[in-house]
Amino acid sequence: DGGITQSPKYLFRKEGQNVTLSCEQNLNHDAMYWYRQDPGQGLRLIYYSQIVNDFQKGDIAEGYSVSREKKESFPLTVTSAQKNPTAFYLCASSIGLTPSYNEQFFGPGTRLTVL
Amino acid sequence: GENVEQHPSTLSVQEGDSAVIKCTYSDSASNYFPWYKQELGKGPQLIIDIRSNVGEKKDQRIAVTLNKTAKHFSLHITETQPEDSAVYFCAASKVGRDDKIIFGKGTRLHILP
């Protein structure tokens, strides 16, 4: 059963702590993405990776970090430098990078609440 | 960079009626326009898309129209059903070095019984 998994579904952290969100895909996709979704807002791109060991900043990368050591995994760390980390985080993947030729498939999301 | 505006932010329609969601984009180089549906607590899912060389595309009860001159595109849902209740996002992208999808802010569609 192919797909994208994100864990956990809900995550609570104290202010000042770093937290890592998991994203795993078994679709054999090369490209992976992290988006942030706030109430009443569209999806904003945090980081994306076209291939293993390579990743690029998106529109709102400040306060976040990623790694891509394996094709199937793209974890996102929300650092204490992120000023407003409470949000819904979505991971996505696609075969390739060009949106018009490669549908992005989304995971179920992780809702992060920083107390 | 590209900017996508989406209206309305909330839409309520009677079951069986039609729903229309409108989007405008700013970058005339954009050539791909997907629409996503996001159900409560889930990630968005692509429901239909249109490329700039096509003016209209239909898939059963949903259709999308594109007016390149005016730089706007719309989603039409006919014979709405309860399961159509969700948040819908329009988006735009272009083929090039900056291959990113720019999303609108979303429309929350309520289907009233």
Using DSSP, state whether B9 is helix, strand or coil.
coil
pLDDT at A65 over 80: yes
What is the pLDDT of chain A when averaged over all its residues? 93
| Percent of chain A at pLDDT exceeding 70 | 98
Residues comprising chain A, all counted: 115
Nearest-Cα distance to chain A for B10, in Å, is: 10
Residue A101: the pLDDT is 77
Within 8 A of B31 by CB-CB distance, chain A residues are: 100
Strand ranges (E), chain A: 4-7, 10-13, 19-25, 31-37, 43-51, 54-57, 64-66, 76-78, 87-94, 105-106, 110-114
CA distance B46 to A104: 8
List pLDDT tens digits, range B40-72. 988 999 999 999 888 999 999 999 999 999 999
pLDDT at B87 over 60: yes
Specify the higher pLDDT residue, A102 or B23.
B23
Nearest to A107 among B9, B43, B105 (CB): B43
Mean pLDDT of A21-32: 96
A39 cis-preceded (ω within 30 degrees of 0)? no
Is residue A33 within 8 Å of A104, Cβ to Cβ?
yes
CA distance A16 to A79: 8
Beta carbon pairs, A and B, within 8 Å: 56
CA B99 to each of CA A101, A102, A113, B82: distance values in angstroms, whole numbers, following the listed order: 11, 11, 31, 35
CA distance A34 to A48: 6
Specify the higher pLDDT residue, A58 or A102.
A58
Mean pLDDT of B70-88: 97
pLDDT at B96 over 80: no
State which of A5-9, A78-82, B5-9 shows the largest mean pLDDT.
B5-9
- Residue that is written with structure tokens 């849902």 in the block: B77
Q: Using pLDDT thresholds of 50, 70 and 90, give the confidence band for residue B94.
A: confident
Residue of A nearest to B41 (CA): A108
Residue A98: the pLDDT is 80
Using DSSP, state whether B82 is helix, strand or coil.
helix
Nearest alpha-carbon partner for B31 in B106, B87, B98: B98
Mean pLDDT of A72-81: 95
Residue B97: the pLDDT is 55
Mean pLDDT of A67-72: 97
Residue A41: the pLDDT is 85
B53 exposure class (CB count in 10 Å sphere: 0-12, 13-18, 19+): exposed
Within 8 A of A44 by CB-CB distance, chain B residues are: 103
Residue B2 CB neighbour total at 10 angstroms:
17
List pLDDT tens digits, range B23-40. 999 999 899 999 999 999
Q: Using pLDDT thresholds of 50, 70 and 90, give the confidence band for residue A46.
A: very high
